[in-house]
Each structure stands twice: as structure tokens, then as C-alpha cells.
Structure 1
């Protein structure tokens, strides 16, 4: 599967592409997981999480169809000549930060570092998570290039019978990714369903977490992107794991970005928002007791 042979039929190429998309969608990828996680948590429901995964993957699929068309035409060679990880990380980070800024402050540009020191009143200035932005994220993130993209672009796309079929491997790869991202979105959308909390409390935790992950995660992505642009060798650093599956085969910059945004910033944001909600609940209870 990871080393497809020559002489495949169109049907076989499309099946290969879809299965590779499934693997891409389920493994921790820095171009997919942070975005799906952020928006799915922000919608705090199965349906909202699935929609987040679908819309993000829709933009991603459109770009992948374009990418395999370039691969068929031989125009994707730019990826062999230049390392675009740095610029892609930087742009993805900027878009993440803009979306997070809107959610947290209702503005598209702000510096919420005061949150690290001073907590604002619960719910103040928070905006609903703009799911349509996920399509933009998907289009941009699709320009990221890894092992899976290499296979569909340089090995599968050139084997299709003609230019009219060139977008199909990318489309099937995107649909495979979409399948798993919808499933993951449903899971991510339910991880903050804490017992004993009201719908409004859960909404607050979800939106606050989404905003913080997008904003601070976006800053991390942008910084890493700038570092790779300045010092390209950083992107080559990796510790092999012995697992042959891409995204699981090494601990590298991409893997650390997933862990840093989803694992570290995501979990820390959930815990912080949960504590804020519990503090508010306890304060309200104390006020009711005082009235009695």
C-alpha cells in the first residue's frame, strides 16, 4: 500500500488513494488533527464535530484534487525542489490565530496574553465558532506535503489514463481523509461532556477551548514555520519509531506540533475552562445560600 506498483488500473488507483486517505485521516497529522480538534470541541456535540470534520476535509479534498492534477502534468516537481513546510506552517498558523482571535474577543486581531495572568468574566466577548473557516483551513493545509502526498502525487496520479482523470486520486484521498476526520470530529466534539454541567457551561468550555487552541496553537505553528524557513535543517530532525506507517514512523516536528496543540494546549485549555466554570457554579451556589 505504501509502495504501489506500476501498471495499476484506474479502479485500483482510486482504491489505493482512498485507503491511503483513511490512514492519513486516522494518524496524528499536523495538517488535520489540530484544526478538526479545535472546531469540533468548539461545537461540543457529535453533529457539530462531524460537520467540522466534513467541512475541513472538503477544503482539503479540493486542494488534493488540484495537487494530483499537478502531479499528472509534472508540475508538482516544485515540492522536490523546495521545502514548503515552513511557509505552509506559517500561513496555517496565521489563519488559526485569526480564527482564535475572533472566537475569544470578537475581533480578528488582538493580543490575549493577559488571559495567562488575568481571567476575564466567564463568557465575556466570546463568539460562536465559525465553522465555515474550516474550509479555508483545509485549502491551505492541503499544500502541506508528506509521505502520503508523495505517493498519490508522484506514484499514483501519473498512472491515470488521461488528464480528465488526474483529480480523481486526490479526490479519493481527500474522501478517505474526510471519512476519518468526520469520525474523529464526532469523538472530539464529545470529550467535554462533563457530568453535572449545564448546556451553557459545556458551551463555554467548548468555545473557550477552541479559541485558545486556535490562537495559541496558531502562534506555535507560525513560530515553527518561521524557524524552518530560517533554518531548514530543523524540518529534517526525526527520531525513528520503527513503525512503517507515515505519521507514526517518527517523532518529528509534525508529530510534536500535533502533541503540542491537541495534547498540551488542548488539554490545558479544557482544564482551565472547566475550572472557570466550576468556580462560577460554586460562586452561584454560595450566593443562593447567602440569600436563604
Structure 2
């Protein structure tokens, strides 16, 4: 097989293009960016178990894979220029942020997750705290799936390679979707594992099951709320001041997604490391201090 160049593949054959797509998907799943880690973290931690975290990561990544397969086919058909529209890419931050903020606001405001009953039943838990009985509602399964499909339309270095180099390398329209599907599969593998680990992290605290649920849902709610607000602000500022959207600092790393510190990377780090992990550990410490014997 010809040499695989993940950094700048040019004129690859069919086999090399497919392998490159899968490998780039794996790298994309590992690299923190605004379209994957904050959303996977929020829903996986909100599930407060390894199994539910795995499910959240899978749901998000499956619809992300579906979107990438569709976009890859559109790119083969010569429509990639529509997906490379910088205005559209910046505007996409707004609906992603609105979806995140809406879920987070409702969880904090009413101590329940969004449950519009679009798909399936709504399952409730109760958690007795000092102020009485608080009603907690688990995040319905369709929310990560919806997020995955919407977030996938964002454009970055990975998508640019996929749409302009790998998809056009396919021999016919019947193959046009395959690079996108393999790219999504690579991301799915990593995000599913990450979702399980996030869920396990939430379940492994030395707290009662009720306290773990409270910590997990509070963490998920705040990550969604403040992360959503940051996304909306980034989208609006990017539309009003395009130069700000393209701000970056070269890191010298020869890895897509990490070669520059830019707005997407800052969003991911702030949402997950700042709000998400910060809330998770401070809430855990607070509950341990309040219940030293439990």
C-alpha cells in the first residue's frame, strides 16, 4: 500500500484514502475539540455509570458518523464548497450552543433534564436532600444523538481533508460516502471508550448512589449551560468579527487539532477541564464534607 500521510494526503488511491479516513477519525476522537469532548463529557457524566456513559458516547458518535457519511457523499458530488463556507461554520456554533444551554438551564432550573417525549419514555429518580425531595429526570436518549448530527457539520482541518481529498478519491458515487463513514467510525471508537470512562468516573466516587447522581447531573447541567453560552458567544463574535474566529497560536505540534491553540480548542478545554471537571470535583468534595460517614 502506498505511503499514508495523515498531515497532508495528496492524490491518494482508494485503499490509502480509506485507511487515511479511519486513522484520521481515530486521531479526531482523541483530540479535544469543540464538536466532541464537551458534549460527550456532559452526557456521559450525566448518565453516572459506565454503561450509560458508553451509550451516550455511542449515540453521539453514531449520528456524527451518519452526518460525515452524508457530507462525504455530497463532497464527491462536487458540493464540498457549500460545506467550506466560513460564515456557515461560525453560525453553526449558535444552534449547538442553544441545544447545550437549553438542556443545562432546564436541569439547573427544574432539576430535571429535557424530556420532550420525542422518543421513548422518561425515567425518573428521586434524591432526598436537605431541602426536601428533589426530582431528577435522566437525560433522554435522543439528546446526544441530535447533538452528534448537528455538531458534525462543523468544518475543521479533519473535515477539510475528508471533503477535498479523501471523498473525491473514490471511484464512483456508490463509494463516495465510505471515507466519511470510516472517519466517523474512528471517532466513534474513541468517543465510546471516552464516554464509558467518563461515566465510570462519575460512578466510582465514594458516595451513596443518590449523591453520585446529584453530582453527575449537576456537573452535566453546568457543563451544558456554560458551555452552550460560550458556544453562542463564540459564534456571534465569529460572525461579527471574522478575524477573531481565525485567531490562533502555533504550538509546533505536527498533529491536526493540536498544531494551533485556537478558539475551538479553548472552548473544549474551558468546557471540559474548567466547568465540567471543576464542578465534578468541587461537588464531590462538598458532599463528602457534608456526609463524612457516607
Relative to the length of structure 1, the TM-score reads 0.87
For residue 59 of structure 1, what is the aligned residue in structure 2? 63
Question: Is residue 102 of structure 1 aligned with residue 116 of structure 2?
Answer: no
For residue 121 of structure 2, what is the aligned residue in structure 1? none
Quote the offset at 1:57 in angstroms: 0.4
Question: Is residue 20 of structure 1 aligned with residue 24 of structure 2?
Answer: yes
CA distance in 1, matches of 2:260, 2:44: 27
Assess, with a 3 A threshold, how the Cα gap between structure 1 residues 107 and 5 changes in structure 2: closer, same or farther: closer
Quote the offset at 1:155 in angstroms: 0.2
1:226 aligns with one of 227, 231, 236:
236
Question: Is residue 165 of structure 1 aligned with residue 169 of structure 2?
Answer: no
Question: Is residue 49 of structure 1 aligned with residue 70 of structure 2?
Answer: no
1:208-231 Cα deviation digits (max 9, x unpaired):
111111112111111111111111
Q: Is the 8 A contact 1:102 1:127 kept in 2?
A: no
CA distance in 2, matches of 1:149, 1:225: 19
Quote the offset at 1:156 in angstroms: 0.6
Q: Secondary structure at the match of 1:126?
A: strand
Relative to the length of structure 2, the TM-score reads 0.86
Assess, with a 3 A threshold, how the Cα gap between structure 1 residues 48 and 87 changes in structure 2: closer, same or farther: same
Aligned pairs for 1:149-228 (under 5 A) are: 149-193=159-203, 195-228=205-238
> Which structure is higher in strand share?
2
For residue 251 of structure 2, what is the aligned residue in structure 1? 241
For residue 127 of structure 1, what is the aligned residue in structure 2? 137
Q: Is the 8 A contact 2:40 2:56 kept in 1?
A: yes
Assess, with a 3 A threshold, how the Cα gap between structure 1 residues 199 and 125 changes in structure 2: closer, same or farther: closer
CA distance in 2, matches of 1:155, 1:195: 46
Ranges in structure 2 where 5+ consecutive residues have no aligned partner:
1-5, 116-128
1:142-184 Cα deviation digits (max 9, x unpaired):
0100001011110010110111111111111000000000111
> Which structure is higher in helix share?
1
Q: Is the 8 A contact 2:93 2:232 kept in 1?
A: yes
Question: Is residue 74 of structure 1 aligned with residue 69 of structure 2?
Answer: no
Q: Secondary structure at the match of 2:261?
A: strand
Q: Is the 8 A contact 2:39 2:144 kept in 1?
A: yes
RMSD: 2.2
Q: Is the 8 A contact 1:103 1:129 kept in 2?
A: no
CA distance in 1, matches of 2:215, 2:113: 19
Assess, with a 3 A threshold, how the Cα gap between structure 1 residues 120 and 66 changes in structure 2: closer, same or farther: farther
Ranges in structure 1 where 5+ consecutive residues have no aligned partner:
110-118, 286-292
CA distance in 2, matches of 1:133, 1:14: 30
Assess, with a 3 A threshold, how the Cα gap between structure 1 residues 156 and 194 changes in structure 2: closer, same or farther: closer
Q: Secondary structure at the match of 1:201?
A: helix
